[in-house]
Structure 1
Amino acid sequence: MTIRWDEITYDNLTNIEKALIIYDQAFPIEVRESHNIFFESLQYAKCRKPNSFRFLVGFEGGQLVSFATGHYLADTNLGFIVYLVTNPDVRSKGLGSKTLLKIEELLNKDAISAGNVSLRAIILETEKQELVHTEEEKVDCIKRSRFFERNGYYQYKEINYIQPPLHNGECNVPLNLFINKNDISKEEIKDFIRVMYQEKYCLVNGIDKKVLRTCLKEMSVDELTFFN
């Protein structure tokens, strides 16, 4: 399979609707952001340099077969992959790994542009099995965790990670936290979480700071000065 890669940007939204169709099919509602957050993320990328937001799409012929989104967070030299999705109508060995490798490459370019030799690490969230609603979602959840493990990511278990509620009136969402380096200290992980909360969940998603403070406290992560 030959993949043609492209990027969706604030000034080039041509393929965003195609990507959002398969996005809506891929995740339980609790971890599925509203579509406007993608547009907010693209706007963020224009004004928060050297931080960035990447919205990668992959095509085979004229068909969109995968996409991935991720933030580069300069304060901790961290890549934060938010979503990685393959088209359920396409069955091709290695498509997910190719997409992951490409988004990693883009985030690493952002790290180098910010003056670093390379990324310190890449982090991501995945659903816990108890979050799913159907047997099909459970199977997908297990496959997703195994996929990241095969591609060099490790589940970080020293912090009971929670994602703040993505929708008003909902509860925090316990998730698994995966990282692609095994030499990261607990204090560094806490720094990563603080910056993820600041740049992603506060500035992009617009989640109430009181909610974010509660989540950080529950994880025993000290607040960022930003939240004071």
Structure 2
Amino acid sequence: MDKQSLISGMNFNEIFAIMEASFPVSEIRTYSGQQALLSNPNYRVYTEKDAEGRTLAFLAAWEFPALRFIEHIAVNPEIRGSGIGNKLMNSYLQCSDKPVLLEVEPPDGELERRRIGFYERLGFHLNPYSYVQPPLRAGQEDLPLRIMTYPRMATLQEFRKFRDILYTEVYQVAVRGGV
């Protein structure tokens, strides 16, 4: 796992192409919006590369004093199922001495349940609290998601603290009511 503090234009293009192939539009920022995050000191991108230096997979995370938030993890579609995503995630988790969070779609369908199962096998726990991701692009609606936490389930008090950090620091919106 290579930590990328400065990502070249070509590397960013490879990462964004994998992102676009892996996530619905509602779960990614625009090209310029995503690129702008690279100057944020709390935002980090970790990559796995092949022998020629091409990006095979990436993990994009926000790192704060109270938590680490994995915003995106994705593998080049041509090599999915090779175990590289598991390897990248395990490397990241082994380096963490604080709670790690990620967002997932609710377990309403087979694909969503499989994704949740992947994270559960890595040691994440699906929290029961309601949560919405604020829009990442203009004109979009809130996206109902769920929060998974590692290495254990969050208490309601912890969940509220984590949610508030995500809203104010990652999404830059006012803290909302609810759970």
Output the TM-score relative to the length of structure 2: 0.88
CA distance in 1, matches of 2:81, 2:139: 39
**Residues 70 and 102 in structure 2, CA contact (< 8 A), matched pair in contact too:** yes
Candidates 156, 163, 169, aligned match of 2:127: 156
Deviations 1:161-216 (A, max 9, x none): 100111222211001211013253210110011011111111xxxxxx4xx44xx2
**How many Å separate the matches in 2 of 1:33 and 1:171?**
13
Among 14, 20, 24, which residue is 1:18 paired with? 14
1:64 lines up with 2:35 in the alignment: no
Q: 1:42 aligns with which of 38, 43, 47?
A: 38
Any conservation in 2 of the 1:70–1:80 contact (CA below 8 Å)? Answer: yes
CA distance in 2 between counterparts of 1:100 and 1:40 reads 24
| Counterpart position of 2:158 | 188
| TM-aligned CA deviation for residue 59 of structure 1 | 1.1
> How far off is 1:14 after superposition?
4.4
Contact 2:107 2:116 in 1 (8 A): no
Aligned CA distance change for structure 1 residues 183 and 20 (closer, same or farther; 3 Å): closer
Amino acid at match of 2:49: F
- Structure 2 unpaired stretches of 5+: none
Q: Which amino acid aligns with 2:133?
A: Q
**Rounded Cα–Cα distance in structure 1 between residues aligned with 2:59 and 2:86:** 11
In structure 2, relative to structure 1, the CA distance for the partners of 1:68 and 1:34 (3 Å cut) is: same
Residue 103 of structure 2 contacts residue 145 of structure 2 at CA under 8 Å; is this kept in 1?
yes
Q: Map residues 88-99 of structure 1 onto 2, 5 A cutoff.
A: 88-99=77-88
Check conservation: 1:8, 1:14, Cα contact below 8 A: no
Structure 1 CA distance for aligned equivalents of residues 152 and 127 of structure 2: 9
Distance 1:142 1:156, change over 3 A: same
CA contact (8 A) 2:127 2:153 kept: no
Let me know the Cα RMSD of the aligned residues. Answer: 2.1
SS at match of 2:138: coil
The sequence identity of aligned pairs, in percent, is 21
Greater helix share, 1 or 2? 1
5+ unaligned residues in a row in structure 1: which ranges?
Answer: 46-51, 109-117, 131-137, 203-208, 221-228
Q: Pick one of 72, 75, 81 that aligns with 1:86.
A: 75
> What is the distance in 2 between the residues matched to 1:141 and 1:183?
19
Q: Structure 1 pair 88/30, CA: closer, same or farther in 2 (3 Å)?
A: same
Per-residue deviation at 1:60? 2.2
Please point out which of 126, 134, 141 is paired with 2:104.
Answer: 126
User: Residue 70 of structure 1 contacts residue 103 of structure 1 at CA under 8 Å; is this kept in 2?
Assistant: no
Q: Does 1:198 align with 2:168?
A: yes
Aligned to 1:73: 64
CA distance in 1, matches of 2:67, 2:28: 22
Find the aligned partners of 2:153 and 2:84 in 1 and give their Cα distance.
28
Larger radius of gyration: 1
